[in-house]
Amino acid sequence: MRVIEQWRNGFTSLLVIFLTQLTGAAEKKAAQPPESPDVVALTERAKKSVAVITHYGRNRKQDGVGAGFIVSQDGLIATCLHVIDEARPVTVELADGRRFEAIEIYASDRKLDLAVVRIAATNLPTLKLGDSSTLKQGAPVIAIGNPVGLEHSVVQGVVSATRDFGGVEMIQLAIPIEPGNSGGPLLDFRGRVQGILNMKSAVTANLGFAVPANALQSLLDRPNPVPMARWLMLGALDPKEWKPVMGARWSRKAGRIQVENAGDGFGGRSLCFWQKEVPALPYEVSVTVKLEDESGAAGLVFASDGENRHYGFYPTAGQIRLTRFDGPDVYSWKILKELKTPHHKLGDWNTIRVRVETNRILGYVNGELVMESNDAERRNGKVGLAKFRDTKAQFKNFYVGTNAPSIATPVVSPELTAVISSALSSGKSDAEVVASLKSGGEAAHAAVLERARQLDKEAQQMRRIASEMYARTIETALTAVLKEPEEKIDLFHAALLVAKLDNPELDMEAYRAEMARLADELRREVTEKASDTGKVAALAKFLFIDHGFHGSRMDFYNRANSYINEVMDDREGLPITLAVVYLELARQIGLTNVAGIPLPTRFMVRFEPRDGLEQIIDVFDGGKGLTRSEAVELVAENVNAIGEKDFQPARKHEIVTRMLHNLLGIAQREGNAGDALRYLNMIVALNPESAPDRLNRARVQMRAGNNAAAKVDLRWLLDHEPAGIDLERLAELYGTL
């Protein structure tokens, strides 16, 4: 399923803005309906009509999964349009285990995000559509779907309200919708379909939306059938002209070729080869390209064997690069030339061109020669387009021939530039500025756009500089805290600094005051004569029962669980952040014989009473006391081996580093290279001798195109020769940069 963040037609921003303003009052008032004795039987009947719907990418790899339900005995399955995606093969798996390829898209509506597919089957058990206009606020409902691949899962909730989003009426639900639920039926307690599950809230988990059943009925009444053979051609490239290789998603719309998603080649490389004949030397290849994210890379490929060997000429990270690929991996990749040029327009369309001659390669950007190479390793072969990493890019005006057409660029005179600068700084209204520049024609238009691009570029640079300066400030503060002797390190303060790295407005003193208030309250509940064992019991009751601190089980990978301030606010967190709160309160009531222990996948606390056996405290599970063997059993299924070192007290420096590694893991899981690099910079600053972290940072830098920064870490690794790293391969990689 594609959740709301991926929905079509600009729906995302509208929903996020709207949901941010919601108070959630309706959901709080809408209590869960009492369990009905008919729900189990109703669910059992309805599940027979619910299907698992899967669509596949061009390389036949599973690209998405959602739900659908049978609306006619002769094989019509209703779902959401975003579940089947555009121009993709679709497979339907029925509740009895039978699998069918969709043979027709019987009906679809982009605005409603609805689709009906047909399979070659008869005598199927159907679900009846209800009249959604009669659905009342507070009505109990049941949702059936395949959340995160868990087929035919059921959840119960209530109707909160109906909302209008861009002219589309939606049913708002106090019910969790997860990836895989989309397209599933929303049933009333009589088993009638009242809606089609569509999207989840971007703000809170227990809030979802469904398209009313009446919208589906109107679509069934006016079908627009498309045979699968034609559906698969929608947006497809003409195979007589183009052949994509190495995955990614290549398509054609409005005369432009578009590409998205990472390819299968190293660095997310994907190629799309022109299928017509390439002229004899000398020849030229050109294309006009625009990157959605300038940190990515996309452009031309030429002199290729049709697979891994080729040249590439493309913009990346604000530079223009000429490369040669001699194989499938990073070690067979060589950057021939790389430079920044004022002729390259960031964030805009750029026409790039290569001229391939017998003894040299010439590279042009927007009609200007920017580089020349005498590399003559390859000359003959296929030409086409290339992209790298997760880049989204568009291409137009592709050309192969002996002389590429010249580019007509409006000439901006110094006089016109002066007039524009004066007009923009005069304080005049937009209309007055437009009137004063009217005589400049296209040149004035181009000059104003160029000025805007320059200002955008400067603003982006200033934001990057400000962000880097701020990160360095936090780095300095955190390093100073952790350089103190172990017994003097303020772990709670260090944890607040980790959170402040991502949240500049965090008021650290306010949370220190809140911790002090909790400690004062706890002291009043612990008698002066209480033993350490009694204090541990009182602390567990105070923290996990009286104040409701608990492990985050339903939203484990939310970054909020790693921010100690949000753990304090929400009473929810990861094992390590809950342990930090526990250890701070323990310190404040004089418990000196407790310590954090770094069990893999599950940070815990060890309590060693002065007269008794040690106890392992699972702060993620309500402060439950465990024996050492019980703790081992709890985490053993996720790790290869657990040793004595895993039960030794973790130094506070190690605890903070582990918290940063948790944030790093989330950023890498989300594909957020900027955040990943920020965490890695902090980790390496705290642990400059850590070879794995330096190697990881070098990889992230290379993916972002920051080769100079990557070389710093690779040089350190080569100089220090850490164990467990293939230094010979590392030296080869260093040489390619």
Give the percent of the chain with pLDDT over 90.
51
Q: Which pLDDT score, from 0 to 100, does residue 240 have?
A: 87
364: pLDDT strictly greater than 90: yes
pLDDT at residue 412, rounded to an integer:
62
> Cα-flanking dihedrals φ and ψ of residue 236, to 5°?
-80, 150
Look at residue 594 and tell me whether its pLDDT is greater than 70.
yes
530: tokens are 């209480």
Mean pLDDT of 233-240: 74
Residue 721: half-sphere exposure toward Cβ, Cα within 13 Å? 1
Q: Of 187-201, 435-449, 547-561, where does mean pLDDT reach its minimum?
A: 435-449
pLDDT category, 626, cuts 50, 70, 90? very high
pLDDT at residue number 360: 95
94-149: pLDDT as tens digits: 999 899 989 999 999 888 899 999 999 999 999 999 999 999 999 999 888 765 44
Q: Which residues, other chains included, contact 1 with Cβ-Cβ below 8 Å and sequence gap of 6+? A: 64, 65, 66, 67, 80, 82, 83, 178, 179, 180, 181, 182, 183
Confidence of residue 602 (pLDDT cuts 50, 70, 90): very high
The whole-angstrom separation of Cα 554 and Cα 153 is: 15
Residue 61, pLDDT score:
53
Q: Does domain 242-401 have CATH number 3.90.1300.10?
A: no
pLDDT of residue 249: 79
Residue 36 is predicted with a pLDDT of: 44
Query: Residue 202's pLDDT is what?
Result: 40
pLDDT of 270-302, one tens digit each? 999 999 999 999 999 999 999 988 778 999 999
**Mean residue pLDDT across the chain:** 85
680-727: per-residue pLDDT in tens? 999 999 999 999 999 999 988 887 778 888 899 999 999 998 888 888
The residue among 320 and 27 whose pLDDT is bigger is: 320
Determine contact, residues 397/288, Cβ cutoff 8 Å. Answer: yes
The reply to whether 242-401 shares the fold of 4-230 is no
Token pair for residue 349?
């369309």
In this model, does residue 174 exceed pLDDT 90? no
* Cα distance between residue 492 and residue 716, in whole Å: 33
pLDDT tops 60 at residue 15: no
Return the pLDDT at 279: 94
- Two tokens at 236? 């497809």
pLDDT of residue 10: 37
How far apart CA 118 and CA 519 sit, in angstroms, is 64
**pLDDT for 18:** 31
**Is 34's pLDDT higher than 90?**
no
Check residue 405 and give its pLDDT: 80
CATH fold of 484-656 reads C8orf32 fold (3.10.620)
Which pLDDT does position 11 carry in this prediction? 34
* pLDDT given for residue 13 in this prediction: 34
User: Which of the four pLDDT bands, split at 50, 70 and 90, describes residue 253?
Assistant: confident
What angle is formed at CA 96 by the lines to CA 92 and CA 99, rounded to 5 degrees? 30
Question: Given this model, what pLDDT does residue 462 score?
Answer: 92
Which carries the bigger pLDDT value, residue 705 or residue 62? 705
pLDDT band at 62 (very low <50, low <70, confident <90, very high): low
pLDDT at 618: 95
Residue 24 pLDDT > 50: no
Supply the DSSP string of 403-433, one letter for each residue: SPPPP------HHHHHHHHHHHTTT--HHHH
Write 13-20 long-range contacts (CB < 8 A, 24+). Answer: 14/165, 14/166, 15/165, 15/199, 15/201, 15/202, 16/202, 16/203, 18/163, 18/165, 19/201, 19/202, 19/203, 19/204, 19/207, 20/203
Least confident of 197-206, 279-288, 560-569: 197-206
Structure tokens at 691: 């070879």
Amino acid (one-letter) located at 411: V
505-563 per-position pLDDT tens digit: 999 999 999 999 999 999 998 887 888 999 999 999 999 998 889 998 877 888 999 99
Helix axes 673-686, 652-670, angle to 10 degrees: 160
Average pLDDT over residues 72-87: 88
Domain 4-230: top CATH class? mainly beta
> How far apart, in whole angstroms, are the C-alpha atoms of residue 331 and residue 329?
5
Whether the pLDDT of residue 607 is over 80: the answer is yes
Q: Where are the domains of the chain?
A: 4-230, 242-401, 484-656, 689-737
Q: So what's the pLDDT on residue 59?
A: 44
Q: Where residue 410 falls among pLDDT bands split at 50, 70, 90?
A: low
pLDDT at 447: 78
pLDDT at 3: 35
Nearest to 617 by CA among 586, 643, 660: 586
pLDDT of residue 87: 61
Query: Which of 21, 38, 43, 27 shows the shortest CA–CA distance to 138?
Result: 27
Element containing residue 291 per DSSP (H, E): strand 283-291
Cα–Cα dist 266/650, whole Å: 38
